[in-house]
Amino acid sequence: MQTITLNPDNFKIIKNEFIDPSTNRMFTANYRNFTQKDSVYAPYVVDIDIQAEKKAKLKIEYVRIEKNTPQKLDLNIPEKYDPIQIQKKPK
């Protein structure tokens, strides 16, 4: 199940939530500190909360947002973390 919450003033997404009751997993993203730059109105802070067998919290703070410019993301996950296998449900 997915729930999307919009800001009633500008209809921007301020919260996105995914819940899987069968596995008791939940993913929530809260978007805040919206700023307009170069005709783009975007959140500069995203708070992510993951609840599953293990819990995780992430906070993403953007320093700058550039429109139509390729970006490079260096992401290293320490080896001490175990990957979570996601199984697709048959259709």
Its domain, for residue 27, covers 1-91
Mean pLDDT of the chain: 89
Q: What is the total count of domains within the chain?
A: 1
Question: Nearest to residue 43, comparing CAs of 80, 88, 7, 86?
Answer: 7
With a pLDDT cut of 90, the percent of the chain lying above it is: 52
Predicted confidence (pLDDT) per residue in 60-75, tens digit: 998 888 778 887 878 7
Q: What is the mean pLDDT of residues 42-64?
A: 93
